[in-house]
Chains A and B, each alone.
Chain A
Amino acid sequence: MGTYLGDWALEATLTFLHQALDGSNTPVDFTGTGTYRIYNSSGLMSNGTGNLSVFDDSNTTGLYSGSKSLAAADGYERGQTYYIRVQGTVSAATRGTLYSFTIS
């Protein structure tokens, strides 16, 4: 299911934060760029991919943000649940994390 990010308004800009962790669950920066993909029950959303940006780098370690417009034109609908898979590389190993959100 993934960590729930809350309910969002249609046409809002979804913003989420992701903490990258190593195998010991200690915050660490990704090697390279972290990415995300947004799905619904039918599969990958239109324009549903993106790259993560470093968030508040001067005060944090391994904290990233992602942002995506929840446009009806891209197939987002009220009452639906969506899933985000974040992926990045830590110490040459691929790590993935799931999030979910709803639109109301």
Chain B
Amino acid sequence: MAYLGRKQLGDEFLVLLQCKTGASVPTAPDACPYLDFWLNGTTLAATVRMAPTEKGKIVGAFHYGVFLDETFSEGYWQAVMRYTLSSVPYQQVDTFRIIPGGHADGPIVAIKEYRKAGANFIVRVTKGGKIKFGRNPQVN
């Protein structure tokens, strides 16, 4: 179990997993591990599959890039990773805390002004992949 720290909505981070036997020998699992996100240990918010890390070079290493979008909310989260080795189930748990602040869309990563005859627009792209625009922006 590892504590991944304090996060805010819109943050991005990696969850890493090394699959290994009880004797700590790195071992490829039967299939890509599942990753469950639990809020306060009571509400299952999402289940995803983890991707191999440097497949063919590292045995049994997996990762998942988490973007804290509207799936997540303030609170204490448990990331439960599940896999099987020769049909024997193994689990690993990481925890993190989402504190107030941030935005589920993430920060703006690109911005463009468009001047049109009828109106002017500011178009923004967020880290979460959303495209937003504002009409007739003003600087006060």
Query: Which one of B38, B76, B82 contacts A12 once the chains associate, using CB atoms below 8 Å?
Result: B76
The B contact surface, by secondary structure, is strand
Tell me if B91 and A5 are in contact (CB < 8 A): no
Give the size range of A's interface with the partner: 20 to 34
The CA of A21 and the CA of B89, in the complex, are separated in Å by 11
Nearest CB of chain B from residue A55's CB, rounded to whole Å: 7
Count of A-B residue pairs with CB < 8 Å: 74
Residues from chain B with Cβ under 8 Å of A11 in the complex? none
Give the size range of B's interface with the partner: 20 to 34
Residues from chain A with Cβ under 8 Å of B41 in the complex? 15-17, 55, 65, 67
- Nearest A residue to B89 via CB reads A61
Residues from chain B with Cβ under 8 Å of A65 in the complex? 41
Tell me if B78 and A15 are in contact (CB < 8 A): yes
Tell me if A24 and B22 are in contact (CB < 8 A): yes
B51 sits at the interface (CB 8 A): no
Residues from chain B with Cβ under 8 Å of A22 in the complex? 22
Residues from chain B with Cβ under 8 Å of A24 in the complex? 22-23
**Given contacts A15-B78, A17-B80, could you give 12 more A-B pairs where the C-beta distance is less than 8 Å?**
A4-B3, A5-B3, A6-B95, A6-B96, A8-B76, A15-B42, A19-B1, A19-B92, A24-B22, A25-B21, A26-B90, A27-B89
